[in-house]
Amino acid sequence: MLPTFVIFLREGIEASMIIAILLSYLAKIDQRQRFRDVYWGVAAALGLTAVGGVLAYLLIEQYNGSNVQTYFETTTYVLATAILTGMTLWMHAHAPTMAGELRSRSDVALSRSERFGLGLLAFQAVGREGLETMVFTLAIIFASTRQAATPVHGSGLLIGALAGLAVALALAVAIYRLGTRLNFKIFFRVLGVLLMFFAAGLLVDAIQNLQALGWLPFGTHVLWNTSGALAESSNLGDLAHSFLGYADHPTLLQGVVWVVYVVASIVAFSLLGRPRRPKVSA
């Protein structure tokens, strides 16, 4: 439940924040009649993402238990890790200037009198977040199904996703009503660090699959076995795995990859968060 809550909250916040900034800016410049273009762009992006996600899941379900499913899962884990890392670092570095960039792109669309310019801008913004969310959700479903394949667990994933979207939409309304008076710098910083650990867990899952396939035949020595005390298939174990990358019997390679990724990502996160020194002219 919590993994999908965090993912849908984070992605929902970014997408809804973009739309809220667009709408508030259009209202400010007395272009409320263009709201419809933005709404159409959002609806098209959400519809395309939903259909794509369902088709991808149904497609891979046909290969349940085969190596094809393992290949697809591993690719999803690696892709989700790369996207999650990239978007978190990008947002951490560009969050202060995002509103200004959106206003500039809106001005360009309005100045060119393009009928679908604003809709395309909204489609691109929401579609990007929707595509990322689809990849993350598939990764969570695959990892959760492998650890605890029960109907209740699937219901928890859905409840978490809906709760995350609800909170994201509530915050979007606040952004629209309050304009630029809300500052999400601390929010994205805290959530970004949390998602780095979440990405580390996905990367560990990918290493586990690759070792099971025999593609990484080294570093297979098991570091410990705590399945008796805290199994990954338990609710608490699943939560620890999702947010901290916990494994009840990790291999040496999994441990090394986890440590290297977490250290490197946190260092990069810290460097991007440093204030830039103004250039001093000679």
pLDDT band at 190 (very low <50, low <70, confident <90, very high): confident
Q: What is the pLDDT of residue 155?
A: 66
pLDDT digit string (tens) for 152-163? 455 666 787 788
- 3 state SS for the chain: CHHHHHHHHHHHHHHHHHHHHHHHHHHHCCCHHHHHHHHHHHHHHHHHHHHHHHHHHHHHHCCCCCHHHHHHHHHHHHHHHHHHHHHHHHHHHHHHHHHHHHHHHHHHHHHCCCCCHHHHHHHHHHHHHHHHHHHHHHHHHHHHHHHCCCHHHHHHHHHHHHHHHHHHHHHHHHHHHHHHHCCCHHHHHHHHHHHHHHHHHHHHHHHHHHHHCCCCCCCCCECCCCCCCCCCCCHHHHHHHHHHCCCCCCEHHHHHHHHHHHHHHHHHHHHHHCCCCCCCCC
pLDDT band at 280 (very low <50, low <70, confident <90, very high): very low
Its pTM stands at 0.72
Answer yes or no: is pLDDT of 115 > 70: no
pLDDT digit string (tens) for 224-237? 999 888 888 787 88
| Residue ranges covered by each domain of the chain | 2-273
Q: Looking at 1-15, 171-185, 199-213, which range is the least confident one?
A: 171-185
Q: Looking at 46-60, 82-96, 108-122, which range is the least confident one?
A: 108-122
pLDDT band at 151 (very low <50, low <70, confident <90, very high): very low
pLDDT digit string (tens) for 258-273? 999 999 988 887 777 6
Q: What is the pLDDT of residue 211?
A: 92
